[in-house]
Amino acid sequence: MLFFWPMGRHRDKPKERDLRGFKYFKILSGMLQTLHDAACARDRAHNRVLHMDQYLTLLLVYMFNPICSSLRAIQEASDLAKVQRVLKVPRAALGSLSEAARVFDSDLLVGIIGELVRRLRPIRHDAKLSDFDQIITLVDGSWLKAVSKMTWALFRRDDIHRAVKAHVHVELLKGVPVAATITDANSSEHAVLAERLEAGRLYVLDRGYAKYDLLQQILDAHSSFACRLADNAVFEVIEERPLDPDALAAGLVRDAVVRLGCKTTRGKLVQPVRIVEIACTPHRKPSGKTARGGPEQGDTILIVTDRLDLPADVVALLYQRRWQIEIFFRFFKHVLGCRHLLSTNKNGIELETYVALIACLLIALWMGRKPTLSTYRMLCWYFSGWADEEKLQAHIAGLKEQTPQT
């Protein structure tokens, strides 16, 4: 279980001894320096105090230190001599921090995220996934609760609920998020993905993305997919494939080449595809109940893919690994604190989200591999002052002594 720090209660002002993790920022110093003069063209008086690289550094302080739980706490942290000396940031007024969320262009961080991703090596995974000719990319979206004044984030078509949605891409073999898009909660997940498609990827998707026109767009972008279908999906079987021992051991009950869709939808995905059917534990809600807990499912799940060449058990393994993006969302919200939005401005929320992605990349670079749940807990204890530097370093050394990366 991950460590959670209390949200919303009164806190003392941050003290120097409360703030840790500054070593994470060293790798970024040169990259962020290139953003120092961003948005200065509008500063005709040449009196800007808080620059973009400094603002982003303060956001990283927020990500890495649970004692900083609000914009006010970030402002108080900027008043500490250690923060100013080590991180080269000035004292920032609340007004300057609020303005920064509007004037510093979030798109400027995309290149930095890409550079950090390129520095990462693949982590060790199941050997069956090690020689893929495409980049295995997990995609999903998650809601973040918004405040009432955020009229652009209207949700459920009423004047009460507000929410934004983070649409995130995670590279499985590197174990890190590589892209994110922020929209209002009503935005279509599959429409957002269609705008972000890249060549050379294998997109692993849940059934919310099972739109035949989207699957065709993925193929047209010279990529592939492994996507869960609805239990009542319609298809015409072209070929039934035999199941080998590995497939049977993985719980597969069917492997077939099919034409997907009924007469009215078959033209949206023109080529034959493959359906792998996997036995699972059924989830059914009690009769007459509307309890939460996800949609119902039967005794099997259907995975569709255009990769006819892959062993059937590898297709099942790919979908099983999709759960890694759910673990990221938990880390994103509860460890990095991003369920609390620091800005009501869309650009400001994008800045916070991109800095969270950078924080994840920095952790992966420092660790040399994807952190485990145990590592997440150790980081939180360290950031909270419950574990000292020696204990954290011993944990990292233990990770590096394990089986080397592939």
The model's pLDDT over 113-124, given as tens digits with 9 standing for 90+, comes to 998 898 888 776
Do residues 312 and 247 touch, judged by C-beta distance below 8 A?
Answer: yes
Residues 6+ apart with CB under 8 A from 380: 2, 3, 5, 66, 335
Confirm if 20 and 382 have CB atoms less than 8 A apart: yes
Query: Which pair of structure tokens corresponds to residue 79?
Result: 């008043």
Which run of H or of E encompasses 97? helix 94-103
The answer to whether 293 and 201 are in contact (CB under 8 A) is no
**pLDDT value, residue 213:** 93
Distance CA 316, CA 265 (A): 26
Tally of helices (H runs) and strands (E runs) in the chain? 14, 9
Provide φ and ψ at 225, rounded to 5°.
-145, 155
Measured from the Cβ of residue 12, the count of other Cβ atoms closer than 10 Å reads: 9
pLDDT tens-digit readout, 212-257: 999 999 999 999 999 999 988 899 999 999 999 999 999 999 999 9
**CB of 238 closer than 8 Å to CB of 258:** yes
Q: For residue 61, give the nearest of 35, 38, 48, 79 by alpha carbon.
A: 79
316 band by pLDDT with thresholds 50, 70 and 90 = very high
Token code pair at residue 48: 């800007």
pLDDT digits (tens, 9 = 90+) for 14-56: 666 666 556 656 667 778 888 888 877 665 555 668 889 989 9
pTM assigned to the model: 0.82
Token pair 């893929």: residue: 132
SS3 121: coil
Torsion angles phi and psi, residue 303, rounded to 5: -115, 125
Dist. CA 204–CA 102, nearest whole Å: 34
Q: What confidence score (pLDDT) does residue 263 get?
A: 76
The amino acid sitting at 127 is: A
Question: Confidence band (pLDDT; 50, 70, 90) for 2?
Answer: very low
What's the CA gap between 181 and 192, in Å, rounded?
Answer: 8
On the 0-12 / 13-18 / 19+ scale of CB atoms within 10 A, 60 is buried
List, for residues 78-94, the tens digit of each pLDDT value. Answer: 898 878 887 888 899 99
Kindly state the average pLDDT of the residues 313-329: 92
Amino acid at 175: G
Write out the two tokens for 306: 């255009």
DSSP string, 240-282: EPPP-HHHHHTTEEEEEEEEES-TTTGGGS-S-EEEEEEE---
